[in-house]
Each structure stands twice: as C-alpha cells, then as structure tokens.
A and B are shown apart, each in its own frame.
Chain A
C-alpha cells in the first residue's frame, strides 16, 4: 500500500471540517474525489501534503505514506518529501509561478533545489520534460514569462514540474477546471500518459464527474466533510448506492441527454 489515510479529521480553528476520511491507494492507482464546493475535497489532499492553510490542522487519524506516518514529520522531512516523492498540481498553475520571473529560471531553480544537476543539465532536462507534455517549442516557453502563456500551457507547465522527479504520488486539485473542454482533454490525456509511464499514483480532486470517470480506478464521493460513498469508479457510476451520489450523477448534463425544452 502506497498511501493509507485512516480516520482523518481536519479542523479549522474549533470547527471540524473533515471527519473520518479513509483513503487507500496502491502504486499507480488513480483515485478521484468528487463532491460539491465546500465538501472538504481539497482539504483532504492538502492535509496529505501537509499544506493546510494557517488555521487548519489535522485533529485526528493517521496518514501513512510508504509505511511512515506523515503527521510526525519535522519540517526537514516535509522538504524531502514534497516536490520529489509527492507533488501537487493546482487549479491555476499560473498562481504558483512567479509573475516576474521566466518559466525557465523557475523550472531550473525547482530542479536544482531537489537535485545536484548543473544549471545547463537542469535546463536541458526541463526542456525535455516540457516536450514530453507535448508542448511545442519548449525553448521559447523556457524564455517566456507566465503571463505570455495561455491558461492551458501554464497548466501543462505545472504538470511538467510536478512530474519531473517521477513522484510516487501526484495530488491534483481541480487541475482542469479553469480550462476549455478541448484543452481539458489534452491536459487530462497527457497527465494520464506520463503517470502511466512512471507508475505514479494520482489523487484527483474534481467536480467534473466526466473527468473523474475517465481517469480513475477508484472514486470517493464527499458531502459536508464526510465520505458518502467510495468504491470502484465504474461500479459507483453504474450503480450508485447513496441518494446523494444518485442526485449528483443525475445533475450532470450530458450530450444527448434529456432536453429541458422540447
């Protein structure tokens, strides 16, 4: 078992936001967490990577990653883990990039922070990684500032950075929610392709059930800080058990679905 989260509870100040969450993930497995805004999806994955916002803290449970309880980590241990073995892709990769620094220099800085490559080697490796994400003209991208790239390109740069060290676990927080359908399809496919090559396990948080169904082996449905249903993705979608899951699936618009107006 790569990751085992048991009875996780997270509180912001006095309020308990997430209760009794259990997650288990094997190497190379893809888990999707779906639910509405405010259901605690993002809080769960942030807790796993130890990056809860100021007020937030884990108030109960265990997070075992490769058999080690992450909750006992000291800051130096988090530094060794995050960015190499476990990484994260955010909803808007533009906001993790420094707006007044070129993509190349940020990518190189990130690589050199975690390895002993020289600047030249790092630059070449970064370009190769961008090429792997099917970004045309990586040399130009390395020279660009974040604002010069489109949202889809920035998102791919974010995925390229997150996948650079072939992490064991990739956490993706709404990675395609801000993108158009066409760009979303590209990013999802490229993310899956690279993760399958490297046998990276993914936890993807999304409110797009279509994307969740396409990517994941396992599915967790959350509502108001608790898991209402979890299991194999195809089974839940074919035979949802809880009323909430049924309502959620029913509300997703579908091409060729029932028309409201005719």
Chain B
C-alpha cells in the first residue's frame, strides 16, 4: 500500500544513550529504523519507559542522537547546525500531551497561534488577528477565542489550539506525543476526527505516539511497537489483531474490551519492564516472553520482513 508513496522521513539506525550515575549508560533508543510516508499516520505504541518519547525528541531535534541519521527529504537533520537547523524545524511540528502546560498562561490565544509565524518573519503584526482567526476556524473553534487566555478554555479546546499552533507553519510532518491521553473519550474522538480531516485536506504525515492500542489501531496506517528502546514489530494498523510478535500479542491481551465477546480472555503480561540500565544480551523481551527459548538469551533478534508491510524481530517467527 505504502510502496508507491514517497518517503518523507527516514530514521536510520538511530541510537540514543544517556549517561547516568556510576558511569552507566541508559539506552533509550537502540538501533531504531523507521520510515514515514507522505500523507500517512505512523502510530508508535509501547509501555511507559520504552523510548517512545525519546524517539520523538530525537525527531524534533530536542535531543542529539548518539549515532544514526534522521533524514527529512534526504537531508540528515542530525548534522544541521545554527540557522539551517532552525529553518528545518518549520517542517516538523509537534502537539504536546498536556495542553494546560503547553502554553504560556499570560499570552492571548492570538499571540500563541502567531508566535511560530513571527519566529520565521512570515507575518506582519497587523495581519496577526486575521491569521489567528483563520487557524481557529480550521480547528473548529469560534473566532472570538483570539482574545482569550488559555486558562479560560476546556482541555479539549486547548488541545485544538495546540493543533492550530503546530499547523501555523504548514509543516509536512505533525508529531503528536500522547496528544489525546489527557482527554475524555468523547473529546478524544472529536480531536481524532479533526486530525484525520486536516490530514486528508493537507496531505499531512503524522507520527502518533500513544499507549492506547485500540486508538492507535483505528487511526494509523502503520503501527510500530516499541519495547525497551527497540522496534519489535511494524505492521499495518487494520491488522493489529493479527500481530505476530509475542510482546504485541501480550499487549493486545491486556486490553479490556467493552463488549465481552466469546473467547476473549484478558491475560496480563507477568512481571515488570526490566531496567534499561543493564540489559542482558539477547532479546530484550526474553524475561517476560512466555515462549522464550535458549537462543533468545544468546542472540538478539533483528527486525526482518515477514511479508510486505509486516516486519518483526523474533527468533520464533523464523523457525
């Protein structure tokens, strides 16, 4: 499906290590490779601490990579410096998790929305009000909101402002880090509908970080599953329930369905996610994997394509 589409962002063998106390290294992202196609939503799921947010910060150039390359339209972002790096930020914009903390509470909505444009000298002061109204219309908020402060708005409204601000520069890639996790389900649904509509209109590419598997499966063209800094499985969004990797299967079994269907059992994954500090050699999932074998302790599985559009990193799948 995605083969005929143009690749807009490629993440190639990106590794990020953080130094921690006692000269240890914490590996937050380990040899991650992913690509994002034009007009596509790529969902990234995993438990907390699996490196989702670090990956986002690497893409946004908020952290520098330890090794590897992040190429936007063929240009390696990790090598840019100074003004060229600043200019590159126009193409990739972000929506944050908590809309109550993402804004300066003392700025009016109109200034919040036009700040990115002012940073790049794309707007004159007298045009600001009009531009802000236009952005508010796009996210289905009343134009009168230009003179409000973020404090006088509900969570859902604030998240719409967050989306409008991220889209002010007309980026090609929108990164949403848990953008709907702080919202109620009905508000979440409206925000998702808005994002999907805007994506269609502008042919926007999105990276959608989320821990809600059900939501991700409904809005993503492709899903990448992360575990302890590694991508363990990449598959199309509509076939998530046919996942092959034991970790993805375990995640799916831990979801409580609203309607109890015959034969659905909720089976929690035993144990906790191990510390990323001193990882054993071999498969990162070995300690919790119900089907772990001797080979998994020795050798780390590499992510390989099972068939077009579906890859996984697991020794079991190669038997």
Q: Which residues of A contact B (CB under 8 A)?
A: 36-37, 150-153, 180-186, 188-189, 207-211, 213-214, 234, 237-238, 247-262
Contacts and interface: CB of A to CB of B under 8 A. Distances in A.
A188 to B, nearest CB: 7
18 contacts: A37-B184, A181-B47, A181-B211, A183-B268, A183-B272, A185-B269, A238-B259, A247-B186, A251-B186, A251-B188, A252-B185, A252-B214, A253-B188, A253-B215, A255-B255, A258-B218, A259-B219, A260-B196
A250 to B, nearest CB: 8
A92 to B, nearest CB: 14
B212 A253 contact: yes
B26 interface: no
A254 B212 CA distance: 9
A238 B258 CA distance: 10
A213 B184 CA distance: 17
B137 to A, nearest CB: 22
A253 B218 contact: yes
A259 B268 contact: no
B192 interface: yes
B254 interface: yes
Interface of B: 41, 47-48, 155, 184-189, 192-193, 196, 199, 211-215, 217-221, 237-238, 240-241, 250-260, 266-270, 272
B70 to A, nearest CB: 24
A262 B215 CA distance: 14
Given A150-B272, A185-B268, A213 B260 contact: yes
Contact of A261 (B188, B196, B215): B196
Contacts of B259: 213, 237-238
- Among B41, B186, B241, max chain A CB count under 10 A is at B186
A181 B155 CA distance: 23
Contact of B267 (A185, A208, A252): A185
